[in-house]
Structure 1
Amino acid sequence: MTNNLINIILATCLLFSSLNLAAEQISPSSSRGETQFLAGEACLKQANTACAMAALAKIPSSSPYAKLLQGEIAYTNQALDQALQLLLPLQAETQFTTAAKISLHQYLAKAFTKLQDAEQTLVHLLQVDLTLSATANNSQKDAISANQTQIWDLLSKLDQTELLAMRGNNSDDNFQGWVDLALAAKNQDLSNSLKSWQINYPDHAATALANNLQQSSANQNAPQALKLPSAEAIAISYVPTSDADNPKAEAFKAGLTTALALHGLNNAIQIYTIDNGANNDQDKDNHVTDNQGQSLPDDNTKIPEADTPYAISLDFTNGTANAATSQTNNHQTLTLGLHLEEEAEQIVKFAVKNAISHVAILTTESFTSAQMLKCFSTAWQKAFNLSAEHNNFNIITLPQNIAANDPGLLDIQTKINAKAHDMVILALPAADARIIKPYLNAGTPTLAFSNIHETATDPALNTVRFVEIPFLLPSNTQFTAYQSGAASLPTNDLLRWYALGADALPILIATQQASEKEVLLNGLSGKFSIKRNSITRQLSMARFSYEGINQEQ
């Protein structure tokens, strides 16, 4: 009996001693790992790597805190590859405290900043923001504010192209909301763009920041009033390539005149060609009327300088896809035009977005068709990084002014099917497109340039997508005030030049400012990105339907 009692007592003692041993081995170890990690971080904040290494030595090697501190030490020692190898896998760690999670993403954000990867930097700064917000208390408010300042500093330095690329790579609503706020803040119409953002993201983490931006905009004097620095005249000059350019220049002037009137500005407008020069009488317009046929300006041609800081040169060629400003003495000359390159780039964007890799192109031997084909080919090669010898195209050249009873129409689809294709491009006049369209496969996406859009309804072109300016799309009602000034213009081509003239005023104002920041403009003739020395324009896409025209993007 005594032996049994002793055995029971010993067994009980051994049981409790083993439990105590396990508790001492596990709980204090985990706690010790976190404690030593925090101690090591404190050392790193004082730039004392040796101290941090000493703290690391006291953490069990199997602890995730050891890897976290080791990664932070590697970053401090500028060993970025090692730091990322240690830190990236820890994102799946579930045992970290809130402080450790925040520290992990802060160091990952720092590492990707060093690598100039803005998208990944933003991803991790947003993780910090979410973690801080989930445990928000009075002590965290300053940390949240400081982190959001970092986010905004990052986004505000990116241009529109970079922001849109980032947005397309991440479908997270929080991520896109931050990017969209950065885009809204670049808009020339800041107040309305911020209001639209607040409607689209009513409960977003950046709402407070958006409210601050809105308040700053409201505190400015007449923030939405477009105004030039002085009342001097605006000089419009151009080199005519054909007689058709004079009506285009007049349409451009009409658009600019309407914009000036709507904003209460009294700047006079001079308009002249290179042949006649500028007349000193600002109310008199001079035009060349004896141009014969089409001619291109010589590369050495220079337009006489106007005695005004507001100079606009109209480009009627397809030599460049981008508008630009060039410095002449103490004045800038703003060059604007409507270019096929911009339309071709928009069609290629559609192809990229829809994973289209092979295209059948219907064209003719006309000069305009050849220009369309050339511009589309250039944009395609650039987008897909291809040489001129690529085999992505099936080019089918048709006779000009094809007749509706031409027997060759019956063979068009057979020629198209001779090579694999995901899309058909109509690089030809609208009249030819109407005749050809019924012979095409209705199930294949068919796209065209803006020239195909001549009337509001065109049943023969049903389902054809085309590039167009916002002003000519019925869904854009924000441009109603400009309709009366365009009422006398008989063609969509002239209306496009009118729209560009209306946009010229805000573009001119933006280029007069000393700021290097990018300005975005949702204009009548497209979405503009305006920087000090370059201006890019993005067009819209629309689609013919039996009910009319529907905007697609």
Structure 2
Amino acid sequence: MVKPSRRFRTLLTGIAFATLISGCSTTPEKSGERDTEALITFAENAALDGHYEAAGNAYKQLALLAPANLRADYQLKAATLLLEGNYIAQAKRTLQTIPTATLTPMQQLTLNLLGARIALAEAEPARALELLQQPPSPQTTREQRAEYHLLRAQAYRRAGNLIEAVREYIQREPYLAAPFEVPPETVAAEIEDNQLLIWQTLMMLSETMLEQLRIDPPPDTFSGWLELALLAKNTQRSDATSSARIALSLAIWRERYPDLNVSENILAAIDSWQAGDLQRPEKIALLLPMDGNFSKVARVIRDGFFAAHYNEKSDEKAPSIRIYDTAQEGRTITELYQLAVDDGAEFIVGPLEKTDVDALLKGDNITLPTLTLNYSSDTTMAIDNLYQYGLSPEDEARQLAERAWLDGYNQALAIVPEGAWGARILQAFNERWEGLNGTVVEHQSYASSKNDFSVPLRDLLNIDESQRRKKKLQRLLGSQLKFEPRRRQDADFIFMTAFPRQARLLKPQLKFHYAGDLPVYATSHLYAGYQDKEANRDLDQITFCDIPWVLNNSAEAGNLKSRIEKLWPEQSRQYTRFYAMGIDAYRLVPQLRHMARFRYERLNGETGSLSLNEQNRIFRQLPWAHFKRGIARPL
């Protein structure tokens, strides 16, 4: 939550004082001018301090005071600031008060751009595209045209039309050229970012689609991008002997599209692929605890790792994999790591336990490329050759905060399990939510072993305060009152972390406590990973994130998944996400060096769209789903 600064409090006092003395003025015109100047100063400084609602309301007040020719500008400014603060409903109401008949072309485009932003926040990409049907007029600014194409691209992506999104990103680029007062490096960074959006979108398309859509001959810009993406996809799956051919193909592409100035980072990434950055090591050491508390999860990860190994279709020689048991007595994790090095391992995967990861990092003897299967306690440490990967619930909490913010919410309630695990998830959510200027108005924890969560839910929803008001009124009036308790009204959604049993109890109990109308956003833990229509009926309308392995039904993933389910029917239901983790761990091994060089590159894996941050931690971008009639349906 943004706390009022001293400057903001001073301005607020000044506005009140100006309003108080304005009645003493003998000239109404001068009084109005002073009020306008004070409101403008207040609004500008409130916006600088991040108080967007106050700033927006000040501009709405200015619109009431302004002459007719300035009124629309103030209203549009009010809506813009309210959107900055994510006050979607208020911004929408403000736009609805603007008469459109007298708007200039620039004002009309601004109105449509703001309306499209609101439509995207309300998950209505079709409405956004409808508002942006009319191309900008010649009188509009370069910045407005750039935003117009960006919003259309975002709407097409939300609607699943990736190819039209690419067209819009391409059309946006000419309008990113900045005026002379803007530093050239700023312009270059904006163009680079836009090209990365083009590239990431293209790489989500299949080779067949890229081939079919490449209709116009060179030097057509759109066809040039499609051809380069097709070349990159061919490169990714080529073996080492084809590097010369790929280099020649890239040179031919440059000749065919000489005016297409693609980012050197993108071209360097393709060069690195053909130069052998993706070669798989010949010997892999897999460090896992085969006994103890983590042994069941370890065995599932192992089986997923080997399933990916045997499922791989490649002309290259398959690597040999040797397992080292980190649970055996008499050896520390650093000693076991060194043993794997001495045995000739070229790449190490593991360990799994967080304490072992921490010990390995403290040992300062990471001599081989290493992919741990958990994250260290130190979130800031980055070591060359060491990459960290796991199914982090904190990543999910942060993405839920971002999703709720994009959906237009400001005020959160949070409920998580008691204990350190729940506290970690809550902290991750709080930090990201408050970083977005959202407010957590209340949070509570519950005992997972119980069935009745009335006490934490009543505290979360402030039901007892409603009861206290009733009793106070009865004492004052001296009579009994007809009364229905009310929940608090200052929250617009609930963040929840719960496993399936608890989630199926929490959702109906929220409804019982008058919160059935509040949207619920949950981490993947509420979903067992398989369809159970009757058991999950109480989870209807909950929005949650989960891994593609669980939510998607692609043919490639489906074939491997069905084979795993036949081999290990019981474990595949209980530990399905860890099979996916083992598969992605295997697939990450040849990719990590490349991902470290080009941080924007992603691996579309079974546990998410995987990227590498500056601390060499794998970040998982997850797809979304919600329950409808007891079925988890991808969004």
Percent of counterpart pairs with the same letter?
18
Q: Kindly indicate whether residue 396 of structure 2 is the aligned counterpart of residue 343 of structure 1.
A: yes
Q: Secondary structure of 1:326's match?
A: coil
1:426 maps to a residue whose letter is M
- CA contact under 8 A between 2:540 and 2:630: conserved in structure 1? no
Match of 1:456 among 520, 528, 531: 531
Taking the aligned partners of 1:248 and 1:525, their CA distance within structure 2 comes to 15
Provide, for residues 1-23 of structure 1, a one-character-per-residue CA deviation record: whole Å limited to 9, x for no partner: xxxxxxxxxxxxxxxxxxxxxxx
Taking the aligned partners of 1:230 and 1:541, their CA distance within structure 2 comes to 32
Taking the aligned partners of 1:351 and 1:467, their CA distance within structure 2 comes to 12
- CA contact under 8 A between 1:232 and 1:309: conserved in structure 2? no
Q: Kindly indicate whether residue 246 of structure 2 is the aligned counterpart of residue 229 of structure 1.
A: no
Match of 1:467 among 545, 565, 572: 545
Match of 2:590 among 509, 528, 538: 509
Alpha-carbon distance, 1:380 to partner: 1.6
Q: Secondary structure of 1:483's match?
A: helix
Q: Kindly indicate whether residue 609 of structure 2 is the aligned counterpart of residue 550 of structure 1.
A: no
1:95 is aligned to none
- CA contact under 8 A between 2:395 and 2:620: conserved in structure 1? yes
1:539 maps to a residue whose letter is L
Change (3 A) 1:369 1:542: same
Taking the aligned partners of 2:404 and 2:416, their CA distance within structure 1 comes to 18
- CA contact under 8 A between 1:543 and 1:549: conserved in structure 2? yes
Change (3 A) 1:315 1:195: same
1:248 is aligned to 297
- CA contact under 8 A between 2:207 and 2:230: conserved in structure 1? no
Match of 2:446 among 393, 398, 404: 398
Alpha-carbon distance, 1:378 to partner: 2.1
Q: Kindly indicate whether residue 406 of structure 2 is the aligned counterpart of residue 353 of structure 1.
A: yes
Q: Kindly indicate whether residue 560 of structure 2 is the aligned counterpart of residue 482 of structure 1.
A: yes
Change (3 A) 1:434 1:306: same
Q: Kindly indicate whether residue 520 of structure 2 is the aligned counterpart of residue 443 of structure 1.
A: no
Change (3 A) 1:453 1:312: same
1:528 is aligned to 610
Alpha-carbon distance, 1:90 to partner: 9.2
1:465 maps to a residue whose letter is T
Change (3 A) 1:516 1:368: closer
Tell me which protein shows more helix as a share of its residues. Answer: 2
Q: Kindly indicate whether residue 393 of structure 2 is the aligned counterpart of residue 312 of structure 1.
A: no
- CA contact under 8 A between 2:549 and 2:606: conserved in structure 1? yes
Provide, for residues 327-361 of structure 1, a one-character-per-residue CA deviation record: whole Å limited to 9, x for no partner: 2xxxx233211112210111011111112111111
Change (3 A) 1:201 1:401: farther
Greater C-alpha radius of gyration: 1
Change (3 A) 1:268 1:304: farther
Taking the aligned partners of 1:218 and 1:433, their CA distance within structure 2 comes to 42
- CA contact under 8 A between 1:235 and 1:308: conserved in structure 2? no
Alpha-carbon distance, 1:235 to partner: 2.1
Taking the aligned partners of 2:458 and 2:608, their CA distance within structure 1 comes to 38
- CA contact under 8 A between 2:177 and 2:187: conserved in structure 1? no
Change (3 A) 1:407 1:361: closer
- CA contact under 8 A between 1:255 and 1:500: conserved in structure 2? yes
- CA contact under 8 A between 1:469 and 1:526: conserved in structure 2? yes
Taking the aligned partners of 2:413 and 2:371, their CA distance within structure 1 comes to 39
> What is the TM-score normalised by the length of structure 2?
0.50
- CA contact under 8 A between 1:529 and 1:537: conserved in structure 2? yes
Alpha-carbon distance, 1:245 to partner: 2.4
Match of 1:373 among 416, 419, 426: 426
1:63 is aligned to none
2:505 maps to a residue whose letter is I
- CA contact under 8 A between 2:547 and 2:607: conserved in structure 1? yes
Change (3 A) 1:197 1:235: same
Taking the aligned partners of 1:340 and 1:543, their CA distance within structure 2 comes to 18
Q: Secondary structure of 1:392's match?
A: strand
Alpha-carbon distance, 1:193 to partner: 4.2
Match of 2:228 among 200, 203, 213: 213
Alpha-carbon distance, 1:492 to partner: 5.7
Change (3 A) 1:505 1:551: same
Taking the aligned partners of 1:305 and 1:484, their CA distance within structure 2 comes to 42
Alpha-carbon distance, 1:198 to partner: 6.7
Matching of residues 25-424 of structure 1 within 5 Å: 108=178, 114=184, 116-117=186-187, 122=191, 155-156=194-195, 158=196, 163=197, 179=198, 182-184=199-201, 187=203, 193=206, 195-196=208-209, 206-214=221-229, 216-217=231-232, 220=235, 222-223=237-238, 229=279, 231-237=281-287, 243-264=292-313, 265-273=318-326, 274-275=332-333, 277=336, 296=355, 299=358, 301-302=360-361, 309-315=368-374, 320=379, 326-327=383-384, 332-384=385-437, 392-404=440-452, 415=463, 417-424=487-494
Q: Secondary structure of 1:490's match?
A: helix
Q: Secondary structure of 1:500's match?
A: helix
CA RMSD of aligned residues (A): 4.6
Q: Secondary structure of 1:334's match?
A: strand
5+ residue gaps, structure 2, are 1-138, 145-173, 241-272, 327-331, 346-351, 464-485
Alpha-carbon distance, 1:428 to partner: 3.4
> What is the TM-score normalised by the length of structure 1?
0.56
1:496 is aligned to 577
2:269 is aligned to none
Taking the aligned partners of 1:238 and 1:305, their CA distance within structure 2 comes to 20
Alpha-carbon distance, 1:89 to partner: 6.3
Change (3 A) 1:111 1:234: farther
Q: Secondary structure of 2:575's match?
A: helix
